[in-house]
Amino acid sequence: MPNIKVLDFGGSIVAPDEVDTAFIKEFKVFLTKWLDEDKDNKAIIVIGGGAPARKYQQAYREIISDSDDNEADWIGIMATRINAQLIKAVFSEYCPQDVVTDPTAPESFEGRVMVAAGWKPGWSTDYDAVVLAEKFSADTVYNLSNIAKVYTDDPKKNPDAKPLDYVSWDDYKKMAGDEWTPGKNVPFDPVATKKAAELNLQVIAAAGKDLDNLQKIFDGGDFIGTVIGRK
Ligand SMILES: Nc1ncnc2c1ncn2[C@@H]1O[C@H](COP(=O)(O)OP(=O)(O)O)[C@@H](O)[C@H]1O
Ligand SMILES: O=c1ccn([C@@H]2O[C@H](COP(=O)(O)OP(=O)(O)O)[C@@H](O)[C@H]2O)c(=O)[nH]1
């Protein structure tokens, strides 16, 4: 039985401003070691848009005052695709398939790594990760972003926000709201949340750059992060 891990990387981990080559090198070593431990280990790596998505969406909004959300989303999608193409090239020996741009499309999982990017407007790559988790029967999505934990509110805006070790889907839904806006900064997007809750998925949110912590998560030990949904 394959052991498939769905790694939902925020683009801020791959391209916080410029491409973080040092981190990608470290991650290559980390994941290669895990893949080499057991031939059943496989990873679906979903990549967000990071700084290029935000910068280009912002440029569009600056130029066009009544900007269109659909257009803004397509700009973001293209940023996810360039980031994903880079990660696919880095893992080329493990990843014979093209970058997945429609998470409902892959008929099979060839090789050991599958890399996915944005699909179509209306959500973030979090949703694409949930669709792939359903398709390949993975019961957990690892949401690896620029925050170590989910808080009761956005910690960048509310100094009283408290970190959470666990939050149910019902409580998380109240925090994330129902509405999608292109480039929205939330740990897990509202559209992905709705589907993940329906599937009773577990999401583990943790700092993407802390690979020692990610190892602990893989090993099933104590870790720093937030479990959302199924305990
Ligand atoms: N309840 C919350 N808990 C933690 N972070 C939150 C929360 N609400 C909003 N945020 C914001 O979401 C950001 C993470 O989302 P995002 O920047 O899209 O990350 P990534 O690009 O890594 O996916 C955090 O930096 C934080 O400012
Ligand atoms: O299937 C997708 C994936 C992404 N996006 C757009 O691309 C942006 C960047 O993707 P994501 O939010 O996943 O990147 P991150 O913020 O995590 O870097 C999103 O805000 C959306 O505007 C989209 O419309 N559909």
Ligand 1 mean position, distance from CA 215 (Å): 22
Distance (angstroms) between ligand 1 centre and the Cα of 23 equals 20
Residue nearest to atom 26 of ligand 1 (CA): 154
Instruction: Give the chain's domain count.
Output: 1
Dist. CA 141–CA 193, nearest whole Å: 11
Check which CATH number belongs to the domain holding 105 and give it.
3.40.1160.10
In tens, the pLDDT along 88-147 reads 999 999 999 999 999 999 999 999 999 999 999 999 999 999 999 999 999 999 999 999
Give pLDDT tens digits for 153-167: 999 999 999 999 999
The pLDDT confidence band at residue 184, using thresholds 50, 70 and 90, is: confident
Domain that holds residue 42: 3-229
Structural contact between residues 146 and 207, judged by C-beta atoms closer than 8 angstroms: yes
pTM assigned to the model: 0.97
Instruction: Determine the average pLDDT of the residues in 181-197.
Output: 94
Q: What is the chain's length?
A: 231
Question: Using CB atoms within 10 A of its CB, is residue 86 exposed (0-12), middle (13-18) or buried (19+)?
Answer: middle
Neighbours of 121 (CB within 10 A): 16
β-strand 166-167 against 226-229: which pairing, if any? parallel
Q: State how far the Cα of 158 lies from the Cα of 128, in Å rounded to an integer.
A: 29
pLDDT tens for each residue of 46-92: 999 999 999 999 999 999 999 999 999 999 999 999 999 999 999 99
User: Vertex 155, ends 149 and 159: CA angle to 5°?
Assistant: 130
